Structure 1
Amino acid sequence: MFPAVPETALAELGRTDGDAGTLALLVRDQDTRRLLLLRAVLDAAETADPELCPAAAKARLREDWALLTAADRAGGPDSPARTRLGYPLLGPWVRRCLTGLDPQTGPPTQEQRRELACDLAYFSAVAAVAAARAGIPFAVDLTARDGILVLPSLGALRTAEQGDVRVRVSYDGSRMTLGQDTTVFLENGTGAWSGSLAWTSAYALPGLVPGAAPMPLDDLDPYRVPPREPDQYALSGPAGPDDAERKRWLQSWSGTAAVLRTGGEGRLVEALALLRCLVPLEMPPGAGSRGSCSGTRREAFGALLSSAPVTPVAFAATLVHELQHTKLAALSEMVELHRAGPGALYFAPWRPDPRPYDGLLQGAYSHLALADFFQRRALTVEPALSEGAWAQYARYHAQVRAALPALVASSDLTAVGRRFVDEMAAAHERHTAHPAPRGHAARAQEYVKAVRTLWTQRQPRGESRK
Structure 2
Amino acid sequence: MASPVPDGALGELGRTGGGAETLALLVRDQDTRRLLLLRAVLDAADAADPAVCSAERKARLREDWSLLAEADRPPRPGAAAPPSGAHRRPPDAARSLRAARSPGGALSPARARLFHPLTGPWALSCLRGLDDRERLPGARDEHAARRLRRDLAHFSAVAAVAAARAGIPFAVRLTARAGVLTLPSLGSLHTAAPGDVPVDLGHRDGRLTFRQPGAPDVVVHLESGIGAWSGALAWTSVHALPGLLPGAAPMPLDDADPYRAAPGPRHRTLGAPATLDDADCKRWLQAWSGTAAALRTGGEQRVDEASALLRCLVPLERPPGAGADGRDSCSATRHEAFGALLASPPKDAVALAATVVHELHHAKLAALGDLVTLHHAGPEARYFAPWKTVPRPYDSLLQGVYAHLALARYFQRRALVTPPPEAEYAWSRHARYRAQVAAALPALVASPDLTVPGRVFVDEMTAAYERMAEHPAPRDHTVRAQAYVKAARALWTQRHAPALPRPKG
State the TM bucket, normalised to the shorter chain. Answer: over 0.9
Q: C-alpha separation between the residues in 2 aligned to 1:173 and 1:255?
A: 37
Question: Is residue 3–residue 29 contact of structure 1 (8 Å, CA) maintained in 2?
Answer: no
The 1:2/1:90 distance shift into structure 2, 3 A limit, reads farther
One-letter amino acid matched to 1:12: E
Q: Indicate the residue corresponding to 1:313 in structure 2.
A: 350
Out of 273, 277, 281, the position equivalent to 1:238 is 273
8 Å CA contact 2:30, 2:367 repeated in 1: yes
2:159 is the alignment partner of 1:159: no
* Secondary structure of 1:432 counterpart: helix
* Whole-angstrom distance in 1 between the partners of 2:499 and 2:320: 35
SS at match of 2:172: strand
**3-state DSSP of counterpart to 2:421:** helix
Secondary structure of the structure 1 residue equivalent to 2:182: strand
* Alignment partner of 1:227 is 2:256: no
- Deviation, 1:344, is 4.5
Cα-to-partner distance string for 1:232-272 (whole Å, 9 max, x where unaligned)? 34x21011111011100000000011010000000010000
Equivalent residue number for residue 360 of structure 1: 397
Do the aligned residues in 2 keep the contact of 1:156 with 1:220 (CA within 8 Å)?
yes
Look up the match of 2:299: 264
Instruction: Give the equivalent residue in structure 2 for 1:324.
Output: 361
Q: Give the Cα–Cα distance (whole angstroms) in 1 for the partners of residues 209 and 48 of structure 2.
A: 33
- Displacement of 1:317 in angstroms is 0.4
User: Separation in 2 of the partners of 1:3 and 1:420?
Assistant: 14
TM-score, length basis structure 1? 0.97
Show the 5 A alignment for 1:395-410: 395-410=432-447
Do 2:202 and 2:210's aligned partners in 1 also have CA atoms closer than 8 Å?
Answer: yes
Amino acid paired to 1:48: A
Q: Which residue of 1 aligns with 2:131?
A: 102
Partner of 1:169: 201
Equivalent residue letter for 1:95: L
Query: Aligned to 1:286, which of 321, 333, 345?
Result: 321
Post-superposition Cα deviations, 1:363-385, rounded to whole Å, max 9, x if no partner, equal: 00000000000000011111321
- 2:217 aligns with 181
CA distance in 2 between partners of 1:333 and 1:212 (Å): 28
C-alpha distance in 1 between matches for 2:354 and 2:335 = 20
What CA deviation, in whole Å up to 9, does each residue of 1:152-198 have, x standing for no partner? 11100011111111100000123110115100000011110111111
For structure 2, list consecutive stretches of 5 or more residues without a partner in the other structure: 76-92, 95-101
The answer as to whether partners of 1:348 and 1:403 remain within 8 angstroms in 2 is: yes
Q: How far apart are the structure 2 equivalents of 1:324 and 1:2?
A: 25
Q: Deviations over 1:294-327 (max 9, x none)?
A: 0000000000000010111100000000000000
How many residue pairs get aligned? The number is 465
- Aligned-pair identity in percent equals 66
Matching of residue 114 in structure 1 with residue 146 in structure 2: yes
Counterparts of 2:266 and 2:429 in 1: how far apart (Å)? 31
Q: Provide the C-alpha distance between the structure 1 equivalents of 2:233 and 2:266, rounded to a whole number of angstroms.
A: 37
Does the Cα contact within 8 Å between 1:215 and 1:277 map onto a contact in 2?
yes
The one of 180, 184, 203 equivalent to 1:148 is 180
TM-score calculated relative to the size of structure 2: 0.90
> Unpaired runs of 5+ in structure 1?
none
Distance 1:409 1:46, change over 3 A: same
* One-letter identity of the residue aligned with 1:139: A
Q: 1:194 aligns with which of 213, 230, 235?
A: 230
1:348-427 superposed matches below 5 A: 348-427=385-464
Deviation, 1:106, is 3.5
